[in-house]
Amino acid sequence: MGKAISPGKKRASMIYVLAKVFCLLLLLSLALAACNDQSSKPDPRLKYFTVLDSRVLIADNQAEIFGDVENTSTMKFPFDVTMQADLMDNSGQSVGSATGTAEDVGPGQVRQFVLVGTVDGTRYAKMKVTVVSLQEKRQELGLPTPTPINP
């Protein structure tokens, strides 16, 4: 028959396993905290994108916001610009929201956008359109253009 493990060795083994699990959980929590810190900082490039004008069309509880956004930067590539409209009543309380994207807004260019969402049309009084994120549209030099996939 096999040797019996002494209670002291069994306890030491258990403590060793628990210490490993604790270290892994600590590392995981630190990694998640670092990810959260990065996402809470606004993109400094957002300041280069200005909403020039916007107008709203309301039908029932659906809202469509039309407007123009300008890229005032000198960066060498265009961006897809995601925007959000906050729809409010006279006191500034939210009565709806809409989101959408202006595509391929290059340096010095103005592009139209359409945001779609819902609203309580009976209470709507004003809106604020904000640029919330950017997606770079870079062409990497020296790489072949991928072949389109046909279904």
pLDDT at 19: 74
pLDDT at 151: 47
Domain contains 144: no
Domain contains 84: yes
What is the average pLDDT across 95-102?
96
Q: What tokens appear for 127 in the block?
A: 């809106």
Domain contains 73: yes
Q: Name 96's bridge partners.
A: 87, 119
CA angle 63, 68, 73 (to 5 degrees): 135
Q: Looking at per-residue confidence, does 77 or 107 come out higher?
A: 107
What is the CATH classification number for the domain harbouring 67?
2.60.40.10
Domain contains 12: no
Domain contains 109: yes
What is the average pLDDT across 117-123?
95
113, 104 Cβ separation under 8 angstroms: no
Domain contains 2: no
Neighbours of 133 (CB within 10 A): 15
Percent of the chain with pLDDT over 70: 77
> Concatenated DSSP letters for 13-39?
HHHHHHHHHHHHHHHHHHHHHHHHHHH
pLDDT at 142: 56
Q: Domains in the chain: how many in total?
A: 1
What is the average pLDDT across 118-136?
94
pLDDT at 5: 67
Q: Is the pLDDT of residue 11 over 80?
A: no
Domain contains 118: yes
Cβ burial, residue 148 (10 Å; 0-12/13-18/19+): exposed
Domain contains 95: yes
Mean pLDDT, the chain, rounded, equals 84
Q: What is the pLDDT of residues 15-41, one digit of tens each?
A: 877 777 777 777 777 776 666 555 567
pLDDT at 18: 75
Domain span including residue 49: 45-136
